[in-house]
Each structure stands twice: as C-alpha cells, then as structure tokens.
Amino acid sequence: MLGYLIRRLAQAVVVVFAMSIIVFTGVYAIGNPIDVMIDPGATAEIREKLIAQYGLDQPLWRQYFTFLANVAQGDMGTSMVYNIPVVDLVFSRLPATLELVFVSVCIATFIGIPAGLYAGYRPDSVAAKLIMALSVLGFSVPTFWIGMLLIMTFAVNLGVLPSGGRGDVGSLLGIPTSLATLDGWSHVIMPALNLSLFKMGLMIRLTRAGMVEAMRTDYVKFARAQGLTDREIIFSHVLRNISIPIVTVFGLELGSTLAFAVVTESVFTWPGVGKLIIDSILQLDRPVMVTYLVLVVILFVLINLTVDLVYARLDPRVRLKGGS
C-alpha cells in the first residue's frame, strides 16, 4: 500500500506540473488583461508602467517560472481586479461552493440510490417507470432552464423561497456556514436541487442497471434458498457488489460538481468560486483563473486516488500493486 501511494503521489505531481503548463499557456493566449484594467484613453506611459508592474513584458517562459517560484513559497499571486492575494480571494468564496456541493450531493445520493434500487427491484412497476422517466429529465433538460423554472415557481409565483444569494451565515462546530441558519437553508435548497438533478439521474440509472443484473446472479438465488429475505439480500449482498461503479461515478461527479458549479451559481447569484471564475474570465484576471484551474486539477487527482483506495475496501478482489 505504501509503495502504491508513493507512486500515485509521484504521478500526481507530474500531472499537476503538466497541467499547470497547459493552463498557464492557455490563459496567456486569451488576451491582455491590461486592455480591460485601464481606460482606453490612458497614455502609453501608464500602459507600459502597468505591463511592467505585473511582469507582462517578460517572455512567457519567464512568467511561468516566476509563477512556479512564487507557488513554491505559497504565493499564487495577487488578483488584478480585487488587488488582494488570490489564495485569500479563492478561499473566501470556497465555503459557499462547498456548502452548495455538499447539499446537492446529499440530495443526489439519498434520493438517487434508493430510487435506483427500487426501480431495479421492481423494474416493471409503474413507480419504477416513473422514476426512470424522471431520471431522463435530469439528463436532458438544461441546468439553467431548470434553475429559472425553480425561481419562477418558488420565488416569483409562490414567494416561499428567495431567488438568490447565500443568506445568513451562522456557526456550526466553530465553522462559519449558512447551513447553520434557517435563512441559509432557504437560500441553498433551490440551487442545490438544481445542481443535483443530473447527478441524481445518473445515480438512479447506474444503481438500477446494477440491481437488475445482480438480482439474476447465482449468489442471490442461493441466498434466497437459504431463507434470507429480499431486504437482507439487497442491503447485505447486492448493494455491496454494485457499489464499485457507483463509487466511481460518485467520485468523478463530486469533482465535476465542485469544479463546474458555474451555471448554477450564476443563475442563483450564489457567491461561490464558480461565479468568481466567470467574473475573472470576463475581466481577464489571470492569477485567479490560473489558481482556480490548478486547484481543479489537484482536486481531481486527489479524488481519483481516494476512489482507487475505496475500491480495495469495497471489493477484496481488487489488489493495489505494491500493496500488502
């Protein structure tokens, strides 16, 4: 196990390094932030001074190595728009995104997996067909359209939920979070539901497919012959055997939800990292864009490593090379 972890961490370093080059080059190619930061009527002297101040007059390779040297010291740069350290800016928005992702993943998991189990256990029932039809909607309907529909229904017409914002922030176990207040929950429930629909549909379909296949296997027939109830068979045997693809998708979707909650945060004006990156792209705030994208790469690398380790725990047949 130790040898496996060392190899995976070494691979992670190489991946992050390679992706940092791609990200830095891509961000460099999208435009000059000075064109957005200063007035079009500014003099050439002011323009050249700003370019030199941010090091944009240096060759790309030198800018990149300056960036790496600063990262090694824990400095990801300073936002060109907000004029504060990028790390402070990103981590000031990150709790809001984590709250949104946590609630949406809980909704997708605690509704999607039981619904998928039932749809697989009773595939010909009316309820199962209705569940599968709703899962198709989760795949096919655009997120922004569902978000606007939720706002029109619950905020505008019924007036029972706020249309946007994060709400009041309280303290839970010493951590500032909007989930500690009723007002915070009233603000998070619509965007979290909107963000969870695609993941919920995916969970339902994966769980149902695994359930239908597992119920036809010999070990289920033997368990029934031994007198076990269907409830015991499903929760003690079937669910464990179909959990590997579910864990895989759960891990990947968790990463994508954290990284790409941009549309939902924009529709509901949720003050998270997704909205920050959209504003940064529009304003060509390079340090924020580079930091965000590098953090996303690190996030996916860590999630993939965690999923691999969970595999070995769920299925003893899975062996990690170098493990004992």
pLDDT for 193 equals: 93
Last residue of a domain, one of 45, 74, 103: 74
Residue 324 has pLDDT above 50, yes or no: no
Q: What are the tokens at 283?
A: 């304003």
The tokens for 258 are 């954290």
Q: What per-residue confidence (pLDDT) applies to 312?
A: 65
Q: b/e per residue, 147-160, with b = 16+ CB within 10 A? A: bbebbeebbeeeee
pLDDT greater than 60 at residue 102: yes
- 133: exposed, middle or buried (Cβ count in 10 Å: 0-12, 13-18, 19+): exposed
Q: What percent of the chain has pLDDT over 70?
A: 90
At 56-82, the pLDDT tens digits run 778 888 888 888 888 888 788 888 888
Per DSSP, the chain holds a count of helices (H) and strands (E) of: 15, 2
**Residue 282 belongs to domain with CATH number:** 1.10.3720.10
Q: In this structure, is residue 63 part of a structural domain?
A: yes
Contacts of 24 (CB under 8 A, 6+ apart): 60, 63, 64, 67, 290
Single-letter code of the amino acid located at 227? G
Same domain, 70 and 199: no
Domain containing residue 64: 30-74
- Find the range with the poorest average confidence among 35-39, 214-218, 243-247: 35-39
DSSP for residue 172: E
Query: When comparing pLDDT for 303 and 181, which is higher?
Result: 181
Instruction: Say whether both 168 and 197 belong to one domain.
Output: yes
Establish if 19 belongs to a structural domain: no
pLDDT of 157: 93
Tell me if 21 is assigned to some domain. no
| pLDDT value of residue 280 | 85
Alpha carbon separation from 216 to 204, 221, 223 (Å, rounded): 19, 8, 12
- Domain identity same for 93 and 145: yes
Lowest mean pLDDT, pick from 215-224, 254-263, 284-293? 254-263
pLDDT bracket for residue 152 (50, 70, 90): very high
Please check whether residues 204 and 306 belong to one and the same domain.
Answer: yes
Residues 98 and 226 in one domain: yes
Q: Out of 39, 74, 109, pick the residue that ends a domain.
A: 74
Q: Is 113 exposed, middle or buried (0-12, 13-18, 19+ CB in 10 A)?
A: buried
pLDDT tens for residues 105-147?
Answer: 899 989 999 999 999 888 889 999 999 998 888 878 888 899 9
Domain count for the chain, please give it.
Answer: 2
3-state DSSP call for residue 56? coil
pTM, to two decimals: 0.79
186 part of a folded domain: yes
Q: Write the CB contacts of 235 (distance below 8 Å, at least 6 apart in sequence).
A: none
pLDDT for 31: 67
- Same domain? 157 vs 238: yes
Over 90: is that where the pLDDT of 30 sits? no
53 and 165 belong to one structural domain: no
Name every residue whose Cβ is closer than 8 Å to that of residue 228 and which is 6 or more positions away in sequence: 236
Q: Which residue has the higher pLDDT, 113 or 298?
A: 113
Domain match, 36 and 129 both: no
> 18 lies in a domain?
no
Amino acid letter for position 189:
I
Residue 322 is predicted with a pLDDT of 45
Looking at the domain assignment, is residue 14 inside a domain? Answer: no
In a domain, 1, yes or no: no
Instruction: State whether 192 and 251 are in the same domain.
Output: yes
Mean pLDDT score across all residues of the chain: 83
Residue 98 shares a structural domain with residue 191 = yes
197-217 mean pLDDT: 88
Same domain flag for 53 and 166: no
User: What is the Cα–Cα distance from 274 to 209, expressed in whole angstroms?
Assistant: 33
Asked whether residue 4 is assigned to any structural domain, the reply reads: no
Is 108 found in the same domain as 66? no
